[in-house]
Amino acid sequence: MSASAKAALALRKTMLVVDPQQNIKNLLDGLVREEGWNLKQALDNQTALSMAKECSFDLIITGQKTSGREDLELLRKVRHVRPHMRMIILTDRGTPEEVLASLCQNVFSYFRAPFDESLMAHMVHTAMTQPCWDDGIEVISATRKWIRVLARCTKETADRLIQFLREADIPFAEREDVALAAHEILLNAMEHGGHFNPYEYVEIGYLRTKRMVVCRVKDPGRGFSFEDLQHAAINSPPDDLFAHVAVREEKGLRPGGFGILLASKLVDELIYGQHGDDVMLIKYLDPLSGGRTWASSMPS
């Protein structure tokens, strides 16, 4: 192999997958080939730790058969020698406390089986292509029922934060509605309040009671009046929900404008503060599922 070929190989990004059965490796093979990355495999966490001590990886993806607690212990040990190592945790045996601990310890993302393969591949791509360690999520306070974080105004940060929300203590029947609504409002806050400026932050709060889930999103902007939102579908006539598209094109805005309307259909209440820079999403839980435990809310 020529010196130039060796140099090019050395510059290729490498991920380490803890996968004794090759399920995750097979899932990611197409993405790895397309991007030109290296993929290494470890049979267990102990082997992964030994490999991480010998070589610097851009990303570690844990195996499903270990618990979130075991994977967090692996991350702590790896970071003794690789302080900025990124990790995505996959697990069959997670708990809400482990999701919370993963968020606090700057785990890049967290997936509990069964997980969406396309979401998983998207998160791996994000982890491998983002240029710096600073992942943009700062935990202000966190308990199982009440979490407050600051999120950097980037689309990638929004995607990561919503994935953690998907794994929070929300019954399965309401989980995706809450996640999709929060994602739409969070992107609106980052775009219009923070102008996708990575030096600006949105504050997000999550509150879980026995009967409802509340998400609060506060952006760093000056606010708005609903009368000024002619570029949003929420102000389009009921018989022409696409009337706002021409306004968006005239203003040079990205395609869309359905965020507020979509979110309002997914949750039970969408409440804006006086200046429009502070919004609460409220989803009432099914009384039959609201009291279930986190594990029993998942389908069998």
204: tokens are 């997000």
Nearest to 69 by CA among 100, 33, 38, 109: 100
CA distance 258 to 261: 5
The Cα-based distances of 235 to 6, 29, 251, 257 in angstroms read: 58, 45, 16, 10
Q: Considering the chain, what is the average pLDDT of its residues?
A: 85
Cβ contact 201:153 at 8 Å: yes
136-300 homologous superfamily = Histidine kinase-like ATPase, C-terminal domain (3.30.565.10)
50: tokens are 């030994």
Amino acid at 213: V
In this predicted structure, what is the pLDDT of residue 44? 94
Domain extents for the chain?
Answer: 1-134, 136-300
**Collapsed DSSP state (helix, strand, coil) of residue 117:** helix
What pTM did the predictor assign? 0.84
Contacts of 100 (CB under 8 A, 6+ apart): 142, 143, 144, 147
What parts of the chain have a pLDDT lower than 70? Answer: 1-11, 132-134, 224-257, 288-300
The phi, psi pair for 293, rounded to 5°, reads -75, 165
Cβ contact 181:130 at 8 Å: no
In this predicted structure, what is the pLDDT of residue 300? 33
CA distance 202 to 192: 11
In this predicted structure, what is the pLDDT of residue 298? 41
ω into residue 96 within 30 of 0, thus cis? Answer: no
CA distance 175 to 17: 28
150: tokens are 């600051």
Contacts of 210 (CB under 8 A, 6+ apart): 285, 290, 291
In this predicted structure, what is the pLDDT of residue 135? 79
Cβ contact 190:155 at 8 Å: yes
In this predicted structure, what is the pLDDT of residue 11? 64
Residue environment code for 16-35, b if the CB has 16+ CB neighbours within 10 A, otherwise e? bbbbeeeebbebbeebbeee
The Cα-based distances of 246 to 227, 242, 251, 256, 260 in angstroms read: 17, 8, 9, 11, 18
For domain 1-134, the question of CATH label 3.40.50.2300 is answered with: yes
Nearest to 52 by CA among 22, 20, 77, 89: 77
pLDDT tens digits, one per residue of 31-52: 999 999 999 999 999 999 999 9
In this predicted structure, what is the pLDDT of residue 6? 39
